[in-house]
Amino acid sequence: MDRGKKKKEEEEEEETPKRDGGDPFEFCDVCRLNHDQRPRPPPPLLPLSHVREPGDSVPCCNAINHLASSEHLRNLKGFLRKHGGGVDRIDSFRVSDEELAEWEKACKSLKSAASTSGQGTIGPFSVPLKDIQHEHTSNNMNSFDKHSITSSNSNAYHPVMPLQTLTNESHRLYPQDLSGATGAGSVPYETAAFSVDLQGNTGSARCKQPMQLVNNVKILGGYSLINRTEDQTAPGGSCNGALQKVTQISCAAKGSQQNVHSGALPPWLDANEEKDIGQLNTGQYLNNLTQTGKLKKLNPKRVGAAWAERRRIELEMEKRGERLLNTFDANWLPNFGRVWQAGTRKESKREFETEKRKSIVDDNQPELPFKAQPYISKRARTGSPNRQNADSGCVDDIANNV
Amino acid sequence: MSYALPNLSSKREVDSIIRDTLDRVLVLRFGRCSDPICLQLDDILAKSSRDISKFGVVALVDMDAEEVQVYVKYFDITLIPSTVFFFNAHHMKMDSGTADHTKWIGSFHYKQDFIDVVEAIFRGAMKGKLIVSCPLPPERIPRFQLLFKDL
């Protein structure tokens, strides 16, 4: 028993570090890990990884300003000195002044573009945007060389699309069909949301770093195809989409292209067409019977009952093809009680028709040119007979005009 | 939402719809698509058209169309939007306390108001009445001034 205890103690001594002399293990505040004294590569810096955290789609401007600050540089130098990293690589862990100026310029241009476009542009933006989706699909999450802000300049003017997937789900993206899939197409509601967001936050556009969505239409298309189509799912038959597990079923009639999209009739209508014509006729006959049954229930004293009966018979005849369509007069007018009506509706209709005829006649008659004549007083008119004869025409004209 | 309702721009179309609507109230809105009150009324009409489909039919008439001017004059339309009601090709009047009983001028406050009006007209028409009383309270009836031949 004592030997067993001693062995155990020895094992424990071997396992446990001797903390009396020196520090065999050092706790890293940044990584929150215990490291032994053996040299190890410097751990990735968490402050920068916060910027690219899967949950954050838009890194805060405060983080960028902090990364460009002198305080961060001081901390960084201390960290690298402490953990033995190369001090020459310090620039890859911070934002230089030039990069900061470029970012601010991009923010300004994005803000001005959002304000000048009025309602906000829907679609790609020609400003350098952060490509966070591409970062998640790549294998270089930890190296900041490739994903620094300077790298965004190379993709500055590529057309970009808003995110079509949750960035949390990025690890589930299948890289297959990246070259072939171009089905990103249009996601109108998402683009609208994106533009609305910009429009709504034009005031704080400076604070938000514009997103760069690389030309990953293919990736998105591949993902969307995986999610939606049956052919591109895993062979196991299940589609690991973002939200649901959908089971793939085998398409029984793959050869025939008769489906909803090709405009074919549904099977129940096809089946009906195969029935005898006699059955259809009986169906129609039954319909007529039910209709007449309903009509019998209608009040025969209702408004326009006689008109309705007549019209119904005419429509049935037209359906059977016995009568030509639209045989009524072009000048037909309905029964209408006018506003300034005096008398029955028939009289108002007649009145309107006479007014209409008068207006047509007036339009047809050419307008006589108006002749301006001088005024002749009564005395002058009743004066000399010579004057009377000469001016009678003028007086008549004046009288007519008055 | 006016895309859901038929838009009539010729006399022939108006004649057809009046003649072919049988045993249901025909609601004809005369107005312009650009007018704000017309738009408001169109919205209410579009939303209610399904609800009244068993006893009513709604259609929009473009007042600016040339062929429709004969109806604009015949119906004495001077203010827009103006809504005229028919039943079996007969004009239905409604006494709403305003100067003009031949049409409804303006929009409705609620969708239910419009449905109530159409129902009242339908019930009156089925009883053989050419003029019915408006079921709406006076505060929800739009007021306007009617001038004799724009004098």
Element (H, E) at A4: helix A2-15
Interface contact A337-B74, CB threshold 8 A: no
Distance CA B61, CA B14 (A): 8
Q: Identify the CA nearest to B99 among candidates B37, B147, B27.
A: B147
* H helix runs in A69-126, sequence order: 70-83, 97-116
Phi and psi at A206, nearest 5°, equal: -65, -35
Domains of chain B from N-terminus onward = 2-140 (3.40.30.10)
Torsion of CA A301, A302, A307, A313, to 10 degrees: -90
Task: Report the mean per-residue pLDDT for chain B.
Answer: 91
- pLDDT at position B94: 94
- pLDDT at position A52: 45
| Residue A316 confidence (pLDDT) above 80 | yes
The reported pTM is 0.44
Name the more confident of B54 and A204: B54
Give residues with Cβ within 8 angstroms of A142, minimum separation 6.
A44, A49
Look up residue A57 and give its two tokens. 């789609």
Angle, CA of A9, A11 and A16, to the nearest 5°: 90
Determine how β-strand A245-247 pairs with β-strand A238-240: antiparallel
Interface contact A328-B126, CB threshold 8 A: no
Answer yes or no: are the C-beta atoms of B82 and B105 closer than 8 Å. Answer: yes
> Percent of chain A, pLDDT > 90?
3
Residue A302 sits at the chain B interface (C-beta within 8 Å)? yes
Look up residue B98 and give its two tokens. 């305003």
Distance CA A60, CA A36 (A): 35
Distance CA A342, CA A321 (A): 43
Angle, CA of A23, A27 and A33, to the nearest 5°: 135
Interface contact A308-B22, CB threshold 8 A: yes
How many Cα atoms sit within 13 Å of A209 on the Cβ side? 27
CA distances from B119 to B19, B112, B125, B135 (A): 20, 10, 10, 9
- pLDDT at position A288: 55
> Percent of chain B, pLDDT > 70?
94
Angle, CA of A153, A158 and A162, to the nearest 5°: 105
CA distances from B102 to A337, A342, B75, B150 (A): 7, 14, 8, 17
CB atoms within 10 A of CB B145: 7
At B89-130, the pLDDT tens digits run: 999 999 999 888 999 999 999 999 999 999 999 999 999 999
Confidence at B87, pLDDT banded by 50, 70, 90: very high
Taking residues A166-182, report their average pLDDT. Answer: 50
Look up residue A166 and give its two tokens. 């949750």
Determine how β-strand A238-240 pairs with β-strand A211-212: unpaired
| Residue A180 confidence (pLDDT) above 50 | no
> Which DSSP letter does residue A24 get?
S
Distance CA B45, CA B82 (A): 13
At A243-268, the pLDDT tens digits run: 566 777 765 555 556 777 777 777 77
> Which DSSP letter does residue B148 get?
G
For residue B89, give the nearest of A298, A302, A307 by CB distance: A307
Confidence at A321, pLDDT banded by 50, 70, 90: confident
Answer yes or no: are the C-beta atoms of B84 and B149 closer than 8 Å. Answer: no
For residue A337, give the nearest of B70, B93, B148 by CB distance: B93
Taking residues B25-45, report their average pLDDT. Answer: 94
Residue A327 sits at the chain B interface (C-beta within 8 Å)? no
Q: For CA atoms A269, A271, A274, A279, give the dihedral sign.
A: negative
> Which DSSP letter does residue A211 get?
E
A chain contacts of residue B13, beta-carbon cutoff 8 Å: none
Residue A310 sits at the chain B interface (C-beta within 8 Å)? no
- pLDDT at position A360: 77
Distance CA B97, CA B102 (A): 12
At B5-20, the pLDDT tens digits run: 999 999 999 999 999 9
- Is residue A358 classed as helix, strand or coil in its secondary structure? helix
Residue of chain B nearest A331, judged by CA positions: B11
Long-range pairs, A318-324, Cβ under 8 A, ≥24? none
B chain contacts of residue A356, beta-carbon cutoff 8 Å: 70, 73
Distance CA B19, CA B101 (A): 22
At A345-361, the pLDDT tens digits run: 888 888 888 888 888 77
List chain A domain ranges: 60-109
Name the more confident of B53 and A142: B53
- pLDDT at position A91: 83
Residue A338 sits at the chain B interface (C-beta within 8 Å)? yes
Interface contact B15-A328, CB threshold 8 A: yes
Look up residue B57 and give its two tokens. 């039919």
Confidence at A236, pLDDT banded by 50, 70, 90: very low
Interface contact B126-A299, CB threshold 8 A: yes
Name the more confident of A56 and A261: A261
Distance CA B75, CA B8 (A): 16
Distance CA B30, CA B83 (A): 6
Interface contact A335-B127, CB threshold 8 A: no
> Percent of chain B, pLDDT > 90?
79
| Residue A167 confidence (pLDDT) above 80 | no
Look up residue A62 and give its two tokens. 């405060």
Distance CA A78, CA A81 (A): 5
- pLDDT at position A284: 53
Distance CA A42, CA A55 (A): 25
Taking residues A197-225, report their average pLDDT. Answer: 42
Element (H, E) at A136: helix A132-137
Phi and psi at A342, nearest 5°, equal: -130, 110
